[in-house]
Amino acid sequence: MTGIVVLGSTNMDLVAYVERAPARGETVTGRSFRTIPGGKGANQAVAAARAGGRVAMIGAVGSDDFGPRLRTVLEDCGVGTDLLRTVEGPSGTAHIVVDDEGGNAIVVVPGANAAVTSLGHGDEALIAAADLLLLQLELPLSVVTEGAVHARRRGVRTVLTPAPARQLPPELLDATDLLVPNEHEAAALTGRADPRAAALALLDSVPEVVVTLGAAGCLYAARGAEPLTVPAPRVRAVDTTAAGDTFAGALAVAVGEGRPMPEALAWAGTAAALSVRREGASTSMPYRTEIDTAFGAEADRAASAGS
């Protein structure tokens, strides 16, 4: 089984479900409210573990009531948490509004995540022993960069989701093997709204790029090859929160299993499509059997459409 380490955030998601998100200065009445364990790092760890990966997480929870719940959701799906610190103060929180079309708007307050400023010897050893390191941008940029550089030196493959979007230091890009932005993040990084143009521009900095395109699937670009578009299964979206994290976690598993990239992307896209049919972040992520079943059904549908 692939050894995956996630260096990333944990947040308690405070989610209000509304018909439509309020405009500035406006108050709307919500339908319901849930607290759901999330955070881009923890989401990717849960997604990868449910997809069949052997996963451990480096990060932090707070000493508040949310901390134990955030830890438990990881442990319940077998994610190693020995290097998940508990720090004095509040856990990270994400304040999320989900509208009736499944779209969302999110404010993240880092809390304990901000305390993960550097790696210890244990963190370094864990990363060095992994096959693949998953990173996002909800921990301080300094430690994300440190983790990627350390992984690169030890020959560990690095996969970076550049979210929330911000400019990336050259050392981080130099240490990234596969960059997985969504189309907005790709545009923010390159100044190019067209995903294909953005992906090609990003190849100046990293060897491989996957731009996720929501319901339209994803676009894969690698140096020296023609870009490839991989469609996603059609589903009715209830909540798109963490679809990108589900994709990244499942992709890490498929890549680690040595599947050819087009197949790995389609399988990860199936996992992401399954996740948007359910509410929440960690609550929405599919298990491997569900992904395999839906992936097989999609392949059958494509075959009969082509025959």
Active site residues: 245
139 in contact with ligand RIB (CB under 6 A): no
User: Taking the complex as a whole, how short is the minimal distance between the CB of residue 51 and ligand RIB, in angstroms?
Assistant: 16
Residues 270, 295: contact at Cβ < 8 Å? Answer: yes
Q: Which residue of the chain is nearest ligand RIB when measured via CB?
A: 38
CB nearer ligand RIB, residue 220 or residue 247: 247
183 in contact with ligand RIB (CB under 6 A): no
Residues 73-132 that bind ligand RIB (CB under 6 A): 94, 106, 108
Residue ranges of the alpha helices (H) in the chain? Answer: 40-50, 66-76, 121-128, 141-153, 170-174, 183-190, 195-202, 243-256, 261-275, 288-306
145 in contact with ligand RIB (CB under 6 A): no
- Site map (CB under 6 A) of ligand RIB, residues 272-291, x = contact: ---------x----------
- Please tell me the count of residues contacting ligand RIB according to CB under 6 A: 15
Residues 242, 8: contact at Cβ < 8 Å? Answer: no
Task: Calculate the alpha carbon distances from 282 to 170, 179, 285 in Å.
Answer: 32, 22, 6
CA gap 231, 216 in Å, rounded? 6
CB nearer ligand RIB, residue 58 or residue 261: 58
Residues 42-71 that bind ligand RIB (CB under 6 A): 43
CA gap 74, 175 in Å, rounded? 27
CB nearer ligand RIB, residue 40 or residue 150: 40
CA gap 244, 161 in Å, rounded? 8
CB nearer ligand RIB, residue 77 or residue 106: 106
Stretch that binds ligand RIB, among 16-24, 34-42, 149-157, 294-302 (CB under 6 A): 34-42
40 in contact with ligand RIB (CB under 6 A): yes
CA gap 206, 192 in Å, rounded? 17
User: Taking the complex as a whole, how short is the minimal distance between the CB of residue 174 and ligand RIB, in angstroms?
Assistant: 25
User: Taking the complex as a whole, how short is the minimal distance between the CB of residue 305 and ligand RIB, in angstroms?
Assistant: 32
The helix or strand, by DSSP H or E, that contains position 117, with its residue range, turns out to be none
User: Taking the complex as a whole, how short is the minimal distance between the CB of residue 9 and ligand RIB, in angstroms?
Assistant: 6
| Token pair recorded at residue 166 | 């911000």
242 in contact with ligand RIB (CB under 6 A): yes
CA gap 274, 266 in Å, rounded? 12
Give, in degrees to the nearest 5, the angle at Cα 60 between 54 and 61: 110
Over its C-alpha atoms, the chain yields an Rg (Å, rounded) of 18
User: Taking the complex as a whole, how short is the minimal distance between the CB of residue 44 and ligand RIB, in angstroms?
Assistant: 9
Question: Could you list the residues that contact ligand RIB (CB under 6 A)?
Answer: 11, 13, 38-40, 43, 94, 106, 108, 138, 241-242, 244-245, 281
